């Protein structure tokens, strides 16, 4: 086959090497001949020997032509490039219909950076797309590094020695272990790329100016006045000095290394700066400059060019149009932002997108006494996003709590996967703006979505993210998480000197689902000793999981003695304490415990809330998170009894006949669902009276005749089903009556089924959303659920407990659990269907939509009565789950700005 037959653009990817550098992976081209020769000349003789099993000092013209000419089907080859030079090449050559020989070669200077693993990952995915099942590799026994690469990929590798050569063989279908290995490498590489920025020791500010009101001047000033322990270099082609620092005309003129560059020049000059920085070997760029995607189509093109140029030279990019970043680590004190205020050191990592909002956030943080470990304002987030920061914060010892202010989510599927992992050890608190409008800020490249807000909420809930509505509520929750232990239950005690405020606390707690013990009222004249005794007793009680302290000071009283009691008990208690203390907000100085790490408030400091409802709301959020973190999260049933290969073959067959997509036939829908163990009740499509009678005879009577057109599903006022048909005469009468009713259109379709057991009618749906990827939804069938929006959502892959939560999250769920003495439905069967549909949708992105409705569920099982499925060609997430790649901005036609 020729290369024109197969689309290969989706095989091109920006990838991260083990040390966090960006490289490019793409199919080899005939035009790469010269680059291959140059690459081979840089490879050591030993590496050449390991590759060809004999001395092979140079490549002949015939060799070069053979290596660079492939058909992208039976012969596939990829190269990894850095700064435009090839640093690794890998290939497979099919030797049977389902087996191929794989080999690769990496330049010695770049060995140990994960190039081989990346090549093997992407070759395996390409092989799967081309129908291959197994790879074979011949390796010399002395080539220990190559053997290690294969064995550490997570595949089940079999080996044998033949003629002095080690032959390794393995199935390329991704295993749980292979996926786990890939994810761990992804996390390490993405974290390393961020660490290179956060731990920078030398910074160049390009666009540094002598004007006091300029952005470049502010960046230099904030770095110097923030006591940055590293080196700061000013770059200005027109000045000799800036803020007392010598100015250099270009980055390349700076003596010594430069780790990161802060860019504050006009947008049209930024690309020249990128080239200058790349020539110097800079690791990362912080582009403060505006004039990119936030300014319309021309700006979007400029931003896309900036990203492509940066990545082609191995640079990661924060921005453009951003505020910058901050690292409060005592050994760095790095304020690479436009905010003049350096926040206090603390345990909280903060990510936001808006630069203007970032300044307000930092002011609020300082006012509340909430310390930060790191802060990033990503602006248009052309490259570095919240997902990258989550990967870094997962292993960052200085960060115990993560805060996210999200104006858009570029890759919800990856966010859900990473957040779910991070949340198990570190709480994530998130505000998602635009909840009511689903709007996306100008400058953010985000694929269009048809998913409702409830799908976003489900994503956060599934991942264990604490979702809040406002910034104030985010800080309320954060100051509790940062300074107090997690509660072990939902029972709270209230101790205070105001009956009125204690009653407000009790009412708010009950409304939030917390269990309230009898409040302890100390009276208006209670002193510090009274508070100490009461609080000690409440904390010691086995019926207390958390405590709310209320202190309203009498006239002419500072409350200092009571504060000392609260701080002392808070420091020693293993149960969380929150307070409404003097009506203050944040962590008052009086309630702070010294931080051994040097921050403003240490562990055990007691947070205070100006309103009692705020204290209870924050406590309720933390209780729910603690419950999520402590429970089992279920298992991914990736194997079950699925016939994934048969399902893929069916989809390929349909798309071969209808390349632009098609609605599956009745038999195809039956076959597809059967591949995933879902039994669909047989139905026979009929077009006239005679066919209806014949169908009833074939099914053995006791059947129903249904009008199945789409417009009737939304018309519950039309009786479009005739039940209990027992013979030909009754079928004839049913046909005549049903076809003559008002509301039946000429295009109405009819079908015959056996009568199913009575039960509760439910509905399942799977879709491929341009933004979220696969989505599964569940609800009760019928108009009431549609009108009330009572539908639950999940993002595959789903565990069995995820499926259970989807069922319980319905407002109408009591109907499935024996409401008012009715027979409980077989919820386990519903849960099983959800897990199977999720696996199907995860495996087959080509399924654009599938509706399984109605499904009648009763006490001992279910009957799936009808289904409809549509398949479309899809490359949007082909291999996304099985290979590492940096995200790419969608094309302008697919953005909301």
Segment 176-202, tens digit of pLDDT = 888 889 999 999 999 999 999 999 999
Q: What is the pTM of this model?
A: 0.88
Over residues 236-254, the mean pLDDT reads 90
Q: Which two tokens stand for residue 126?
A: 């390409």
Segment 104-130, tens digit of pLDDT = 999 999 999 999 999 999 999 999 989
Of 599-613, 628-642, 880-894, least confident by mean pLDDT is 880-894
Tell me what pLDDT residue 856 has.
Answer: 93
Q: Give φ, ψ of 80 to 5 degrees.
A: -110, 125
In DSSP terms, which residues pair with 158 in a beta bridge? Answer: 169
Q: Give φ, ψ of 697 to 5 degrees.
A: -65, -40
Mean pLDDT of the chain: 89
Angle between helices 412-423 and 453-463 (to 10 degrees): 30
Nearest CA among 850, 873, 876, 855 for reference residue 865: 855
Assign residue 876 a region (left: φ > 0; alpha: ψ between -120 and 50; beta: otherwise).
alpha
Tell me what pLDDT residue 717 has.
Answer: 40
Over residues 534-547, the mean pLDDT reads 96
The pLDDT of residue 884 is above 80: yes
Per DSSP, which regions of 593-661 are E strands? none
Q: Peptide bond preceding 172: is omega within 30 degrees of 0, i.e. cis?
A: no
| Residue 165 pLDDT level (bands cut at 50, 70, 90) | very high
Over residues 251-263, the mean pLDDT reads 96
Q: Which two tokens stand for residue 51?
A: 């590759």
Tell me what pLDDT residue 711 has.
Answer: 43
| Residue 748 pLDDT level (bands cut at 50, 70, 90) | confident
Over residues 267-279, the mean pLDDT reads 96
Tell me the C-alpha distance between 897 and 895, whole Å: 6
Cβ burial of 97 (10 Å; 0-12, 13-18, 19+) is exposed
Q: Give φ, ψ of 59 to 5 degrees.
A: -95, 135
DSSP per-residue letters across 5-52 = GS--GGG-EEEE-TTS-EEEEEE--GGGHHHHHHHHHHS-HHHHHHHH
């Amino acid at each position: 086959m020729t290369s024109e037959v197969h689309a290969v653009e989706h095989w091109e990817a920006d990838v991260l090497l083990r040390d966090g550098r960006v490289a490019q992976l793409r199919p080899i081209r005939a035009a790469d001949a010269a680059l291959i020769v140059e690459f081979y000349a840089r490879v050591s003789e030993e590496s050449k020997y390991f590759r060809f099993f004999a001395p092979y000092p140079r490549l002949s013209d015939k060799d070069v032509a053979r290596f660079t000419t492939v058909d992208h089907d039976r012969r596939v080859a990829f190269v990894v490039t850095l700064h435009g030079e090839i640093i690794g090449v890998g290939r497979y050559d099919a030797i049977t219909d389902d087996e191929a020989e794989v080999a690769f070669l990496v330049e010695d200077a770049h060995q140990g950076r994960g190039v081989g693993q990346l090549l093997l990952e992407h070759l395996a995915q390409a092989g799967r797309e081309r129908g291959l099942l197994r790879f074979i590799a011949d390796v010399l026994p002395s080539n220990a590094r190559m053997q290690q690469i294969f064995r550490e990929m997570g595949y089940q590798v079999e080996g044998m020695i033949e003629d002095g050569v080690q032959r390794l063989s393995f199935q390329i279908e991704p295993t749980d272990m292979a996926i786990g290995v890939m994810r761990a490498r992804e996390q390490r590489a993405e974290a390393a790329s961020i660490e290179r920025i956060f731990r920078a020791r030398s910074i160049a500010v390009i666009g540094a100016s002598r004007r006091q009101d300029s952005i470049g001047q502010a960046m230099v000033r904030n770095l110097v006045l923030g006591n940055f322990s590293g080196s700061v270099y000013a770059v200005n082609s027109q000045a000799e000095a800036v803020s007392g620092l010598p100015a250099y005309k270009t980055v390349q003129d700076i003596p010594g290394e430069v780790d990161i560059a802060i860019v504050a020049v006009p947008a049209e000059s930024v690309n020249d700066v990128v080239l200058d920085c790349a020539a110097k070997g800079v690791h990362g760029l912080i582009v403060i400059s505006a004039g990119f995607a936030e300014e319309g189509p021309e700006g979007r093109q400029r931003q896309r060019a900036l990203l492509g140029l940066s990545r082609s030279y191995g640079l990661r990019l924060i921005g453009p149009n951003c505020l910058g970043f901050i690292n409060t680590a005592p050994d760095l004190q790095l304020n690479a932002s436009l905010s003049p205020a350096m926040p206090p050191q603390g345990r909280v990592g903060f990510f936001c997108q808006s630069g203007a909002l970032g300044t307000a956030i930092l002011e609020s943080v300082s006012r509340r006494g909430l310390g930060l470990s790191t802060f990033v304002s990503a602006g248009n987030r052309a490259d570095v996003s919240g997902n990258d920061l989550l990967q870094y914060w997962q292993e960052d010892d200085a960060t115990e709590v993560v805060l996210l202010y999200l104006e858009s989510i570029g890759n919800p599927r990856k966010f859900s996967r990473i957040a779910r992992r991070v949340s198990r050890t570190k709480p994530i608190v998130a505000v998602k703006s635009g909840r009511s409008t689903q709007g996306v800020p100008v400058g953010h490249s985000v694929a269009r979505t048809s998913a409702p807000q409830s799908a976003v909420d489900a994503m956060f809930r599934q991942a264990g993210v604490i979702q809040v509505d406002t910034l104030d509520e985010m800080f309320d929750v954060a100051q509790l998480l940062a300074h107090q232990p997690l509660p072990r239950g939902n029972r709270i005690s209230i101790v205070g000197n105001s009956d009125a405020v204690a009653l407000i606390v009790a009412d708010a707690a009950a409304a939030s689902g917390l269990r309230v013990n009898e409040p302890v009222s100390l009276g208006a004249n209670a002193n510090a000793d009274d508070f100490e005794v009461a609080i000690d007793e409440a904390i010691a009680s086995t019926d207390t999981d958390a405590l709310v302290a209320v202190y309203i000071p009498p006239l002419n009283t500072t409350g200092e003695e009571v504060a000392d009691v609260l701080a002392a008990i808070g420091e020693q208690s293993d149960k969380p304490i929150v307070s409404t203390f003097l009506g203050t907000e944040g962590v008052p100085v009086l309630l702070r415990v010294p931080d051994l790490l040097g921050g403003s408030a240490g562990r055990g400091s007691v947070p205070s809330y100006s309103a009692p409802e705020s204290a209870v709301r924050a406590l309720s959020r933390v209780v729910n998170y603690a419950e999520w973190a402590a429970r089992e999260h279920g298992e991914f049933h990736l194997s079950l009894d699925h016939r994934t290969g048969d399902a893929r073959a069916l989809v390929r067959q349909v798309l071969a006949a209808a390349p632009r997509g098609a609605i599956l036939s009745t038999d195809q829908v039956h076959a597809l669902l059967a591949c995933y163990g879902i039994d669909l009740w047989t139905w026979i499509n009929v077009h006239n009276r005679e066919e209806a009678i014949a169908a009833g005879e074939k099914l053995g009577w006791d059947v129903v005749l249904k009008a199945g057109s789409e417009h009737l599903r939304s018309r519950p006022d039309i009786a479009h089903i005739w039940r209990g048909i027992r013979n030909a005469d009754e079928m004839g009468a049913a046909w005549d009556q049903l076809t003559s009713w008002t509301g039946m259109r000429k295009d109405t379709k009819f079908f015959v089924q056996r009568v199913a057991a009575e039960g509760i009618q439910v509905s399942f749906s799977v879709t491929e959303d341009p933004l979220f990827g696969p989505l599964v939804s569940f609800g009760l069938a019928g108009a009431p659920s549609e009108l009330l929006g009572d539908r639950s959502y999940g993002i595959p892959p789903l565990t069995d407990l995820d499926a259970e939560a989807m069922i319980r999250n319905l407002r109408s769920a009591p109907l499935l659990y024996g409401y008012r003495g009715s027979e409980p439905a077989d919820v386990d069967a519903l849960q099983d269907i959800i897990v199977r549909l999720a696996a199907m949708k995860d495996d087959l992105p080509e399924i654009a939509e599938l509706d399984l409705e109605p499904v009648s569920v009763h006490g001992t099982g279910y009957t799936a009565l009808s289904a409809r499925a549509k398949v479309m060609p899809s490359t949007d997430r082909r291999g996304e789950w099985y290979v590492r790649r940096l995200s790419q901005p969608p094309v302008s036609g697919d953005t909301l700005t």
